[in-house]
Structures are given as C-alpha cells and as structure tokens.
C-alpha cells in the first residue's frame, strides 16, 4: 500500500507536467490493434464498439472476433455497422480454429469482424493476433466500455520505454450503476446491490494497491484480460494464448519466464489511471461461478510454470511473485476456511477465550476496513472517479461489513474452485450478460 501510494503520487504529478494529449501528435506513438473476442455478447457488444470508435488515438484498428456465437451477435454487428464480406490475407502465425468469414464496416473502415468456429477465448485472441496489422495489440472483453483517452495512457510507458516494456495493463472498474450511452460513461454511479458495491471495493483494492506495488518491482503476474496491451512480437514468440481457464495470467507468466531465460531486461507494468468499465455479476450464482473459475485459472498458471518456484534463475519472479500467488492467493482461502471451522468448533467446545476472540475479531474488522478504505481514498485522491460524497460514504459503510459476509463467501467459493480443480473440471461456465450500455 505504501509503495502504491508513492507510485500513484509520482504518476499523478507527472500527468500535470506531461499531458497525454501531446502523444496524439508524437511520431513515436505506436499504432495498435484492438482485439475483442465475443461469444454471445449481443447485449453489450454494440456499446463496447461505440466506445472504441470514439477513443482518442492517432492510428488503430478494431478486430471483433465472433467466436461461434449462438445468439445474434454477428447479425447485430452486420446490421448496425454495415459490414460487408471481404477477402483478406491472414498470416497464420498461431494455430486457431477455422475462420469462416472476414467482414469490414463500410461506415468505419478500421473496424474488422472475424467470424470463426468456436474455440474459446484464447483461440479467438490468437485468431485476432494473426489478423492484426500493427506491432502492438490490446485485448478487451466484449462487454467493456473504454474511456476516450485510456489508450494514450496505457501505451505511454510502452512509447517511452523504447521496447523495454512488452506489456502494460490498465485499471478495470465496475460499470453497474453508471449511466452509459452510445458507448460512453455519462455519469458514474453505484449499484444499489451490496454484492456489486463490494466488488467495486474489491477491484479498487486489487488494482490500486496490489498491482501498483507489484508492478513497481516488475513482479506483476496478471494483466487483466479485460484491458491489457502487449507487444505482438513477444507474444507470438511465446506461443500466443494457451487454452487454459486463466489465459491472461498464464501468458504473462510465460512472458516473464521467456525473458528471464533469454536474460533480457524486459518489463510488464500496470498503469493505474487508464480505465476500462465492465459489467460485474450482480447475483450470487454468477459471482460464485466467476470466482471458482478464477481460482482454477490461478492454479492452472502456477502449476504449468511450477519450475519457476524458488528457482534462482528467475530472480524475484521465482522467489517473490510465484510463492506469493501460491501460498497467499491460492492456498490462503483454504487456510482461512480451516480457521473459520476451527473457530466454530472452539465456540461449541468451550475452548476459546471469548474476550480475546472478540478483540481479534474487531481488529480483523478494523484492519480489513482500513485497507479497503485506503484504496477508496487513493481512488478519490488520484483519479476522482467517484466524486460524490454519498458514494464515498456508501463505500465506507459497506466495506465495514466485508469481514461479516463477503469475505467468507469468496473464501468458500475459491475452495470450491480448488475442489473442482482436483476433479479436473475445465471450461468457463455460462455467464449471463445484462448489458450496461443504453444503445
């Protein structure tokens, strides 16, 4: 948290001195291909593309990959963006499922749609990489709403690094409760559902404290699949996206592994300011499904690259990042659940000192709330995405309840993910989108 505070303050001061708009005229600004895998995204895809068409960036292309959708995603794209079928040579550098058709918008020539057989998110992204023309690509979720200047901000470190930085990730915020029209966030709000508000707090904490601190020391193992920019050359050399549950994390770990083995000085960074808004699950059913999947994906990545663990060849990645994600992020929920069970047993057997138990409970409540509210304060102080005092009060009050209900729930769900992993469960599971944009 301390490292994050200092780094965000440093970036905040630099932003005033070096406005991002100057990059619009810079000859060093890299063109970028924006890849949007879409599977049954009919509800939110139009708003997402509208937001991409209005971004502030000198040169880019948008490639929507329709991954065998069974709804009317493709039909909606063809109708609304006046798509026509074209012939385009694709250099197949990564293996993917068959491409059935390539479409181009007559309204926006830089908008391309690939229609392919279903192969999963990783396969769709690899197809998009094959089709892309530019040296950098950005992966975005099909239900995401991007801020106008987000690409200038997320690509700034890459532009200034002279190829030292090979991947850069931005922040993801919860769009539920916001007013979004034609792919643009008109006003920022909060959902009236506590389970969504808790996710807002959780995202702020994960991105503004965890990822900033890890990024500063080149320890970052996750660039969010909802909003990340990569050097195409290095991703292709690493073999592209793998067919795992957590393909975004697995790729980042593989990139770290590759550059360490080649003894190269390359970095993967997180930039807190550029924001991508996405729809969060607003029901217990789908949030539980998401968290189980995330935990299985975490283990997939760690197990596939277990060779890095405590291996001096991989430096701080092997001695800090991998152990942290294994012992704290992966095993932590199991240890915590055992603690809950032992606490309940101790209460019924009378082997607990009630006064000390109450004291530790209050300390836990205060610690968790201070940590959560520090992230909210960092957000308000540095980026001011939630300017209303009412929002701040709601976030504070809800964060006080996290220890009582939300954290135990996520612990149980993540342990369920571990059990599913032991039984060999694969796949993403169905996620229903309601859409956050008013077309």
* pLDDT tens track, the chain, 439 positions: 777 777 777 665 545 445 556 666 666 788 999 999 999 988 888 888 988 998 889 899 999 999 999 999 999 999 999 999 999 888 889 999 999 999 999 999 999 999 999 999 999 999 999 999 999 999 988 778 888 888 888 888 888 887 899 999 988 889 999 988 877 888 888 999 999 999 999 988 888 777 887 888 899 999 887 788 999 999 999 999 998 888 999 999 999 999 999 999 999 998 877 688 988 999 999 999 999 999 999 999 999 999 999 999 999 999 999 999 999 999 999 999 999 899 889 888 988 888 888 888 888 878 877 887 787 777 777 666 777 888 888 988 888 888 889 999 999 999 999 999 988 776 655 555 555 554 5
307 vs 304: CA distance, rounded Å:
8
pLDDT digits (tens, 9 = 90+) for 227-284: 889 999 999 999 999 988 889 999 999 999 999 999 999 999 988 776 889 889 999 9
Which tokens go with 254?
């593989």
Residue 108 is encoded by which pair of tokens? 């926006």
Angle at 220 between CA 144 and CA 322, to 5 degrees: 125
User: In Å, how far are 60, 106, 138, 140 from 110, measured between CA atoms?
Assistant: 7, 9, 15, 16
136 bridge partner residues: 32, 231
> In whole angstroms, what separates CA 202 from the centre of its chain?
13
- What's the CA gap between 154 and 271, in Å, rounded? 6
Q: Please tell me the pTM assigned to this model.
A: 0.90
**Cα separation, 389 vs 295, whole angstroms:** 35
Contact 111, 79 (CB under 8 A): no
Which tokens sit at 105? Answer: 């918008």
Tokens of 274: 């550029």
Q: Are 207 and 272 in contact (CB under 8 A)?
A: yes
pLDDT at 372: 79
């Amino acid at each position: 948290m301390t490292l994050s505070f200092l780094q965000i303050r440093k970036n905040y001061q630099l932003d005033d001195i070096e406005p991002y708009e100057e990059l619009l005229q810079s000859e060093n600004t890299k063109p970028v291909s924006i890849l949007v895998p879409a599977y049954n995204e009919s509800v939110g895809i139009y708003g997402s593309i509208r937001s991409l068409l209005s971004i502030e960036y000198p040169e880019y292309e948008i490639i929507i990959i329709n991954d065998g959708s069974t709804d009317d995603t493709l039909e909606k794209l063809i109708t609304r963006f006046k798509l026509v079928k074209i012939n385009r040579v694709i250099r197949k550098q990564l293996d993917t499922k068959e491409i059935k058709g390539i479409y181009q918008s007559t309204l926006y020539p830089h908008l391309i749609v690939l229609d392919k057989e279903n192969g999963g998110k990783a396969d769709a992204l690899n197809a998009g990489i094959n089709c892309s023309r530019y040296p950098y690509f950005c992966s975005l979720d099909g239900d995401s709403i991007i801020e106008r200047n987000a690409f200038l901000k997320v690509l700034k470190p890459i532009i200034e690094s002279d190829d030292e930085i090979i991947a850069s990730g931005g922040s993801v915020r919860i769009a539920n409760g916001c007013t979004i029209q034609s792919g643009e966030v008109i006003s920022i709000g909060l959902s009236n559902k506590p389970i969504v508000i808790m996710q807002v707090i959780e995202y702020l904490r994960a991105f503004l404290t965890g990822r900033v601190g890890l990024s500063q020391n080149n320890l970052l193992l996750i660039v969010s699949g909802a909003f990340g920019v990569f050097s195409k050359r290095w991703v292709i050399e690493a073999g592209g996206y793998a067919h795992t549950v957590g393909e975004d994390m697995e790729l980042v770990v593989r990139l770290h592994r590759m550059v360490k083995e080649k003894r190269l000085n390359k970095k993967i960074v997180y930039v807190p300011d550029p924001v991508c808004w996405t729809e969060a699950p607003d029901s217990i059913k789908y949030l539980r499904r998401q968290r189980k999947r995330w935990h299985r994906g975490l283990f997939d990545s760690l197990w596939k690259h277990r060779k890095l663990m405590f291996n001096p060849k991989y430096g701080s990645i092997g001695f800090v990042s991998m152990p942290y994600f294994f012992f704290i992020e992966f095993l932590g929920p199991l240890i915590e659940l055992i603690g809950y069970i032992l606490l309940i047993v101790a209460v019924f057997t009378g082997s607990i000192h009630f006064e000390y138990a109450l004291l530790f409970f209050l300390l836990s409540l205060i610690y968790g709330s201070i940590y959560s509210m520090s992230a909210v304060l960092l957000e308000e102080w540095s980026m001011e995405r939630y300017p209303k005092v009412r929002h701040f009060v709601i976030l504070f009050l809800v964060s006080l309840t996290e220890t009582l209900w939300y954290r135990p729930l996520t612990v149980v769900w993540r342990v369920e993910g571990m059990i599913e992993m032991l039984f060999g469960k694969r796949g993403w599971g169905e996620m229903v989108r309601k859409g956050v944009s008013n077309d």
